[in-house]
Structure 1
Amino acid sequence: MKPFIRESGVAVALWRSNVDTDAIIPIEYCVNRKRPHFAEGLFHRWRFAATGEARDFPLNEERHRNPVILVAGENFGCGSSREMAVWALADFGFRCVIAPSFGEIFFSNCFQNGLLPVRLPADDVAGLAEELGAAAEPRLSVDLEDCRVRSTSGKEFPFSVNELRRQALLEGLDPVSATLTRARAIDDFQRRDRETRPWIYREETT
């Protein structure tokens, strides 16, 4: 997993509340695909008409090419547990989503896939969305080392992240890799536990 230390780049404002995982990636784009091709389905119903013609949508604007940061409304990623929603955002190039709140499962899935979800007060997010909407070159910077979002106007917004999750992102560790860093401690625990509770361990037979 790619480490997240700091990211600066094009930012897109999608100021809508309750964007669910089905809107992020429709179910028909969740099957018969492998990464990184989930990007094809990202916001597909909003990006394209049934005829395939591009709609008037932020991701279709020239100034939003190659975005890395998404600024969204409340309860982003709500709805069904669909990890492909996170994959679609990551495959499209997004490294961070900023919103006042997130769907709980989506929020957890982000950390497991190297996508940083940042929670900021609703007024701050609305201000960022307004600033990005008016900018010819909409850009933001997100620093996970000092936990701050910085706008091109010079404004700074501190945020907090669970320290274990923060360290995992900084080091690029998915859940399996993070567990393996504790392999020696796990082995030591199992050895001690076998000595104190031998009855719960199956005896090996030859």
Structure 2
Amino acid sequence: MTGWSTHKGSALALAVDNIDTDQLIPARFMSVPRSEGYGRYLLHDMRRDDDEQLSAEFPLNRHEGVSILIAGHNFGSGSSREAAVYALVDAGIRAVIANSFGDIFATNAINNGLLPARVNAEKVTQLQQAVSDVPGELSIDLTENRLTLGEITATFELDEGWRLKLINGWDDIDLTQQHNHAISAHRDKRTKTTPWAWPTKPD
């Protein structure tokens, strides 16, 4: 994936608590090949009325080009379906801001270049109120773990390893390979000090 350190995009409030992965993408759509894109299934049932028509009351149906969601508490809870992240990414979402996230969802998000920005509840409420009706331009800086929306600024929590993965576009293997020099030096030292512990090569 492509790494990134800053993003400026259209942010919209989705002030609903406990949106789980089954709501993010219902299970019946997961048989669709990823190559066809999952974006059209994002929050499929929440966005539609009883007649399967897009509801004008749902925030994402009223605005296009949104790349940042300011969500409610416990976003991405539920089952461990990576397709929930695929749906967000394929719909153009680069970051979700919330007070808390499902653990597995957050890990899947990082592995797909999506930022799960954990911000304290008071700041989340401020941000939601600022873009409750009309999207606003929000800036994200991964180098400083900072968000800016107009005059509102907030810091977010992010594991250092996760931050490196997002900025560099790394996966878990890349994260380990940054230590290749130290790994090689340790291996060379161990082969000399404990040669009996290493497998012998066939003749």
TM-score by length of 1: 0.87
Q: Aligned to 2:79, what secondary structure does the other structure show? A: coil
Map 1:38-187 → 2, pairs under 5 A: 38-49=38-49, 51-55=51-55, 56-61=57-62, 64-135=63-134, 137-152=135-150, 154-187=151-184
1:82-116 deviation digits (Å, cap 9, x = unpaired): 11111111111111110000111111221111111
Say if 1:93 and 1:185 are closer, same or farther in 2 by CA, change over 3 A.
same
Matched to 2:155, the amino acid is P
1:164 and 1:36 map into 2 onto residues whose CA distance is 31
Match of 1:8?
A: 8
How much does 1:44 deviate?
A: 0.6
Q: Secondary structure at the residue paired with 1:187?
A: helix
In 1, the alpha carbon distance for the partners of 2:191 and 2:32 equals: 45
Structure 2: distance between partners of 1:6 and 1:29:
32
Distance 2:117 2:97 in 1: 5
Structure 1 residues 192 and 36 mapped into 2: Cα distance closer, same or farther (>3 Å)? farther
Describe the shift of the 1:87–1:201 C-alpha distance in structure 2 as closer, same or farther (beyond 3 A): farther
Which runs of structure 1 show a deviation greater than 6 angstroms over 4 or more consecutive aligned residues? Answer: none
Distance 2:202 2:186 in 1: 23
- Residues 78 and 104, structure 1, Cα contact 8 Å, conserved in 2: yes
Q: Percent identity?
A: 36
What is the CA–CA distance in structure 1 between the aligned matches of 2:30 and 2:50, rounded to whole Å? 18
Deviation at 1:22, TM superposition (A): 0.5
- Give secondary structure in 2 for the equivalent of 1:156: strand
Q: CA RMSD in A?
A: 2.0
**Amino acid aligned to 2:173:** V
Displacement, 1:198? 4.8
Measured in 1, the distance between the counterparts of 2:96 and 2:131 equals: 14
- Number of residue pairs matched by the alignment: 202
Cα offsets for 1:142-183 (capped at 9, x unmatched): 11122211112x111122322222122112212222223333
The one-letter amino acid of 1:183's match is N
In the alignment, what sits opposite 1:19? 19
Which stretch has the larger CA shift, 77-86 or 159-168?
A: 159-168
What residue ranges of structure 1 are gaps of 5+ in the alignment?
none
Q: Which runs of 5+ in 2 are unaligned?
A: none
Question: Contact 1:140–1:150 (CA<8 Å) still a contact in 2?
Answer: yes
Q: Mark the CA change 1:201 to 1:26 in structure 2 (over 3 Å): closer, same or farther.
A: farther
Output the CA distance in 1 between the equivalents of 2:126 and 2:83: 29
